[in-house]
Amino acid sequence: MLFSVAADSYEWAVREIRAEFGRDVRIERVSGDLGRVAGIAVEQLAGACDAGRIIFVRHLTVEIASFGLDDLPAGYELAELILEELPDYPKALAVQAWTDSAGTGGSYYHLLEEALADRGVSVTRSGQDVVVSCFAGRRAVVLGINRLEYSLSDWPGGRMRLARSEERVSRSEFKLEEAIATFGLELPAGGKALDLGASPGGWTRILRLHGQEVWSVDPGSLDPRLRGDRRIHHAATTAGRFFAENRVRFDVVVNDMRMDQVMSARMMLDAAPHVRRGGLAIVTLKGGGRNPLDGARRGMDVLRQKYDVLHARQLHHNRNEITVVARTT
């Protein structure tokens, strides 16, 4: 099985896998952001990742073949190889190709797309029950197949690509968008959301796009494009002062504040009494440092005092952060 990670988080992913499945698990590095593990069922590894026990793995696929760059078979042979692995002849597949070089893997995607189309199989980049992964490294091309439910991400190698647009307030929007899409989160229709450390309003904008009325708490200002929205309430104060005066009960609370992991988690504990039972919480735990894994675990242990942790993962747009999704207890 192949697993993808952020390149500088590979060693932490290995440590997590061995802590979960034993130190005798065989793991080798394929490329900067790709590893190979043997002796574990994909369902087991995906389950540990979904539950937040493994947080540095982004994408999974079951390896079916590996070729040197000079030995890559023709497209029709690759299509045959892929279809032989599938017990039921599929009408459609997702093909996701990526590379560790400057390219995007697009040439490999089109190679497989054309070959599978010749066999009557429709190909898309996402949105199918079965995902074909194609990783092109500097020395080899590796093919894998997995069901979407065990892939962790419906993007090549877990690298979600979101379009930049003039409407975007800040780059941080990508983090919340990716979390909502990756974990399949459904925000309550017409809900009330609390955005802690909101300035300049990127997460507030995404919450509004998902139908939430938002209370944006930050001494700093919001982007002028948000100020005319009557369902955005800017509290230009600190979180502590806001909590002291607040009388609203929220359905959702989010926190992307620049604090260390434990301080961010404690801020979420302060927020918990203001959130309905079973309310959704999304927080980024800022990582980095010498031991980001243990720092993230400490933050999650604090959160568990008042929340059930549902998911925890280093998403593509996180950089040195961990996104945690939880519900109030």
Looking at residues 63-91, what average pLDDT do you find?
94
Residues 252 and 205 in one domain: yes
190 and 122 within one domain: no
**pTM: predicted TM-score of the whole model, two decimal places:** 0.93
pLDDT range class, residue 161, cuts 50, 70, 90 = confident
Domain boundary among 158, 184, 216: 158
The more confidently predicted of residues 208 and 293 is 208
pLDDT of residue 322: 95
**What is the band of 169 on the pLDDT scale with cuts at 50, 70, 90?**
confident
Residue 262 tokens, joined: 């434990």
**122 part of a folded domain:** yes
Question: In the predicted model, what is the mean pLDDT of the chain?
Answer: 94
State the residue for tokens 């500088």: 8
Give the domain range for residue 318: 173-328
Active site residues: 286
Per-residue DSSP letter, 249: P
What are the tens digits of pLDDT across the range 126-139? 999 999 999 999 88
Sort 182 into a burial class: Cβ within 10 Å, 0-12 / 13-18 / 19+: buried
In sequence order, which ranges of 94-191 are alpha helices (DSSP H)?
106-118, 173-182
Percent of the chain with pLDDT over 90: 87
pLDDT in tens, 269-303: 999 999 999 999 999 999 766 788 898 999 999 99
The answer to whether residues 200 and 319 belong to one domain is: yes
Within a domain: 103: yes
- Which is more confident, 199 or 291? 199
Per-residue pLDDT at 319: 81
Report the distance separating Cα 181 and Cα 269, nearest Å. 25
Same domain, 277 and 309: yes
Q: Report the pLDDT value the prediction gives residue 156, as an integer from 0 to 100.
A: 94
Q: What is the pLDDT of residue 164?
A: 72
